[in-house]
Structure 1
């Protein structure tokens, strides 16, 4: 089974976008005074500007930069900061509408495809496909897997649950201990419509009863998950891994990608290069700053040490040639600022052009969607971002969603602050 292409409504007819500097997502140098032609939402031409063609509307994008829609491979779109008591008092539709607003703000930030790694059900993917809500194309893990007391287990020591875990519509946690648990849970997730399976091979931060150094899903269990998804057409298996041992277990077990990877040894990095395992470093979340007015000195020192160790780990991985895809852990990182990750990727050694590729074609490749998404090439969906920012000299400016002046999804205009495309004639 090929990866599911999440659909969205498309724009019928033809449209020519001319005059922009094109950064096509493939890693090729930018092309000034370009032309991109769309027909029924699909790119049919991308290259130098051609002579005018009668009967086809033209949008003049002179002075702008045209890029592929971005792919954020690690988000949690149902995570919305709310006081616990307020969460408990809400009606289900309040939560649904709040997630709908997160979807919209993520799309308007330039992310036209997102992989949600715990917390959304396929109903949201279906709603985006129908056009009921505007949002990124969605690939979903639905729930992540960990042992009892691990990163996926929300139960507190006294048996109670946090407010977010009892929200209506939240997927059941993927708590698994035995091989039989794993078989049953993975098959249930695939039946429900999961596009990826997420395992936690280490403990986490913020879960009630575990520690980042704890062992989670083992190498043998990762191998079992990989076998199960292969038996049903194949899906990416990705691993939350905060320790080197956890990352190594995931790589040896056959995971497609490592999420975070803040303590990788040179040996594990070499193994990732050998196997083509992708690193999704979620640097925007790693580099969050604590409020010194409320955090203790000890916590601040611990956070600074984590920053230093995590940056060193990712820099060594980048230098060794580990493939990198953009992922933010949005939900922990603020929603709607997804492209802040581009500057973080430059901080660890990618060029701005390579960072754009990590956020477009490499992300699509990780999802198995590179034949249809991730670059501006004939035959691919017309998911496009238009900005007045030169991403090769000021990539950090894209963190502000206002710098994304227009967004197209399957050729359909979903944001156009300056009327650049909606006034095509």
Structure 2
């Protein structure tokens, strides 16, 4: 249960790009909301049972978002081994990955394919520790597209893993697919507008669902509480189809061209670059020779194109595509964004305020402001001086979610009562 907390002595990054506040005070109440944010000279009275957290030498920030993750997978080819696993084992492994991500300072996440709505409900009920979840459940793809994992052998990796996908080859079929995923508990819809690096039958530059089919998906999602639509889109042509079709976000966007950037800026579309996905190459993760070759082929151009999107001011939100990125090291993505031209402050905003805006929750999350939910990440040192401090989860000393301390590495949360003022 939440309890009143008083954070004192740290440097505060609000999350909206404004200048940090030194020696800040943040007060939360026993409903898990932030009730005061400001300097230390004159904070208001606090509830008598509030716990004081001395965060001197640390930076207080909003809890981060990972806007593109797949908690159900343990690796790019984890689906192979799933056929030999008892289902409860997979459930506990998924829960462990969620907890590891939370402890890295990520208090909210969009799971864009595979993880069931039951994990969202379990997290909401306090049955497992993990980020607040929005789930897409299943990807919408055409036959032979990115979500069609039928190999040359005839084996369908997705079906073998006990999961599902939505294959739709006409606008009418796409509309039905939207209805099915929403019926099954999806919070948003994900379409495949291009092929992918790991797809058996296509490449990143290949187009996926057509502009008409994507527009149909967007229309059907709109009819159901204006659900948002995310587009897996790596090649330039598919990115343009997706934006013209009305999607909220471009996922990956690796080969976005100038026209795609123009459209994204014109329509306010977000791009989630998932640069961390390429880290699987450096780690030597198990993958097919074709997948490795494709990733190496587009990596350098990806860096050029995403750097251009950053420079032009396209709205960038942080996401890792874990397990291609690393669970528990999710904030490495911010370091990669800085490497392509973002300032450390802008990278933090990409993982907080901009990400909350993408997820449609900026009214309650994403910045440290009075009245918002107390999701906070407290880091040792100053990430504005070195964003790599956030990449190491050991530097995330405290994580607070909904006003409840869920990680306290230094045991800073004292039993002292804050004095009334």
In the superposition, the TM-score normalised over structure 2's length comes to: 0.92
The residue aligned with 1:47 is 38
Aligned partners of 1:79 and 1:332 also within 8 Å: no
Query: Does 2:68 match 1:74?
Result: yes
Query: Does 2:137 match 1:147?
Result: no
Equivalent position to 1:136, from 131, 152, 161: 131
SS of residue paired to 2:108: strand
SS of residue paired to 1:19: strand
Q: 1:289 offset after TM fit, Å?
A: 3.0
The residue aligned with 2:22 is 32
The residue aligned with 1:275 is 267
Q: Distance in 2 between matches of 1:355 and 1:293?
A: 26
Q: Distance in 1 between matches of 2:294 and 2:305?
A: 16
Query: Does 2:349 match 1:357?
Result: yes
Q: Distance in 1 between matches of 2:281 and 2:396?
A: 25
Query: Does 2:2 match 1:11?
Result: yes
Q: 1:53 offset after TM fit, Å?
A: 3.7
Aligned partners of 2:215 and 2:245 also within 8 Å: yes
Structure 1 residues 210 and 157, CA gap change in structure 2 (3 angstroms): same
Alignment of 1:100-249 (within 5 A): 100-162=95-157, 165-168=159-162, 170=163, 172-249=164-241
Greater shift, 141-150 or 279-288, is seen at 279-288
Q: 1:420 offset after TM fit, Å?
A: 1.4
Structure 1 residues 387 and 264, CA gap change in structure 2 (3 angstroms): same
Q: Distance in 2 between matches of 1:229 and 1:100?
A: 29
Q: 1:266 offset after TM fit, Å?
A: 1.2
Aligned partners of 2:193 and 2:210 also within 8 Å: yes
Q: Distance in 1 between matches of 2:85 and 2:294?
A: 36
Q: 1:349 offset after TM fit, Å?
A: 1.4
Structure 1 residues 274 and 296, CA gap change in structure 2 (3 angstroms): closer
Query: Does 2:305 match 1:313?
Result: yes
Aligned partners of 1:18 and 1:33 also within 8 Å: yes
Q: Distance in 2 between matches of 1:303 and 1:75?
A: 18
Q: Distance in 2 between matches of 1:300 and 1:76?
A: 20
Aligned partners of 1:416 and 1:422 also within 8 Å: no
Q: Distance in 2 between matches of 1:338 and 1:385?
A: 13
Q: Distance in 1 between matches of 2:272 and 2:15?
A: 18
The residue aligned with 1:7 is none
Q: 1:157 offset after TM fit, Å?
A: 3.3
Aligned partners of 1:21 and 1:33 also within 8 Å: yes
Q: 1:393 offset after TM fit, Å?
A: 0.9
Equivalent position to 2:390, from 398, 402, 417: 398
SS of residue paired to 2:315: coil
Spell out, residue by residue over 1:97-124, the C-alpha distance to the aligned partner (whole angstroms, 9 max, x if none).
0001001001001100000000011100
SS of residue paired to 2:191: strand
Aligned partners of 1:72 and 1:115 also within 8 Å: yes
Aligned partners of 2:278 and 2:324 also within 8 Å: no
Aligned partners of 1:60 and 1:424 also within 8 Å: no
Equivalent position to 1:325, from 296, 317, 330: 317
Runs of 4+ in 1 over 6 A off after TM superposition: 82-85, 291-302
Query: Does 2:81 match 1:89?
Result: no
Count of aligned residue pairs for this structure pair: 412
Residue ranges of structure 1 left out of the alignment (5+ in a row): 1-9
Structure 1 residues 380 and 208, CA gap change in structure 2 (3 angstroms): same
Spell out, residue by residue over 1:143-186, the C-alpha distance to the aligned partner (whole angstroms, 9 max, x if none).
11110111111222343222x64334x3x201111122111110
SS of residue paired to 1:20: strand
Greater shift, 398-407 or 81-90, is seen at 81-90
Q: Distance in 2 between matches of 1:371 and 1:311?
A: 32
